[in-house]
A and B are shown apart, each in its own frame.
Chain A
Amino acid sequence: NAGVTQTPKFQVLKTGQSMTLQCAQDMNHNSMYWYRQDPGMGLRLIYYSASEGTTDKGEVPNGYNVSRLNKREFSLRLESAAPSQTSVYFCASIRTGSGGEQYFGPGTRLTVT
């Protein structure tokens, strides 16, 4: 049982390049989330998927797109990376009815130059 896994762990992009961050969970959770963490700002919600087949914007969705490929996988895409997207990205999942207890992946550290 691996929990929540994320790839890659580290990535450096040039401004304007695109990439997809991958996330998978093996806990049969319905809901999945993408956050970014910046110094002094805690974790901010980018997008979430309450259930397979649905996605919704969070607090900071601009510049990102997501795909809920199936119940296990939820990917985050940067179409044209900008230096402001330099951050640590976390994926999380939650069991419905658990009262908010989310399980987080180890994170992806992204640098855009």
Chain B
Amino acid sequence: DQQVKQNSPSLSVQEGRISILNCDYTNSMFDYFLWYKKYPAEGPTFLISISSIKDKNEDGRFTVFLNKSAKHLSLHIVPSQPGDSAVYFCAALNDYKLSFGAGTTVTVRA
């Protein structure tokens, strides 16, 4: 049973516009939520995280929002750049273990 879900397998956005990626989870015991970025033939790399006690965390062009009552988080990328084209994984941490979503492939169009 998948505890972390990314319901949009792909997203296409124009360069300079906002990318919004969504993620839902079912386990209320998760205490951190993270986003990872993955390029082809490479391992995932950490992008940004948020503690379950916060509702927003910002790092440059990347902002993660957490809505605990809805068990939903989102990643906003503003402005989107061609180098942002990659697969983005949402993940959630409980007891040393990460649970991952299936990923969203983002394509940034020039």
Interface residue ranges, A against B (CB under 8 Å): 4, 31, 33, 35, 40-45, 48, 50, 58-59, 90, 92, 94, 99-107
Contact present for A31 and B9 (CB under 8 Å) = no
Q: How far is the CA of A50 from the CA of B99 in the complex (A)?
A: 16
Contacts of A102 in B (CB 8 A): 46, 98
Query: Could you tell me the distance in whole angstroms from the C-beta of B109 to the nearest C-beta in chain A?
Result: 24
Q: How large is the interface on B (under 10, 10 to 19, 20 to 34, 35 or more residues)?
A: 20 to 34
Given contacts A99-B49, A100-B91, A101-B49, whether A43 and B44 have CB atoms under 8 Å apart is yes
State which of B14-22, B61-69, B70-78, B100-108 sits at the interface with chain A.
Answer: B100-108
Judged by a CB distance under 8 angstroms, whether B29 is at the interface is no
In whole Å, how far is B50's beta carbon from the nearest beta carbon of chain A? 9
Which residues of chain B are within 8 angstroms of A42 by Cβ–Cβ distance? 4, 6, 89, 100-103
State the Cβ distance, B94 to closest chain A Cβ, in Å.
9
- Bound-state Cα–Cα, A31 to B98, Å: 12
Interchain CB contact under 8 A, B34 and A101: yes
Residues of B within 8 A of A101 (CB): 34, 46, 49
- Taking CB atoms, residues of chain A closer than 8 Å to B102 are 40-42
16 further contact pairs, Cβ within 8 A, besides A43-B44, A106-B41: A40-B9, A40-B102, A43-B89, A43-B98, A43-B100, A45-B97, A45-B98, A50-B96, A59-B99, A92-B43, A99-B32, A100-B32, A100-B98, A106-B42, A106-B43, A107-B43
CA distance A58 to B97 in the complex (A): 8
Which residues of B are found within 8 Å of A50, using beta-carbon distances?
96
Task: Digitize B37-69: 1 where CB-to-A-CB distance is under 8 Å, 0 elsewhere.
Answer: 000011111100101000000000000000000
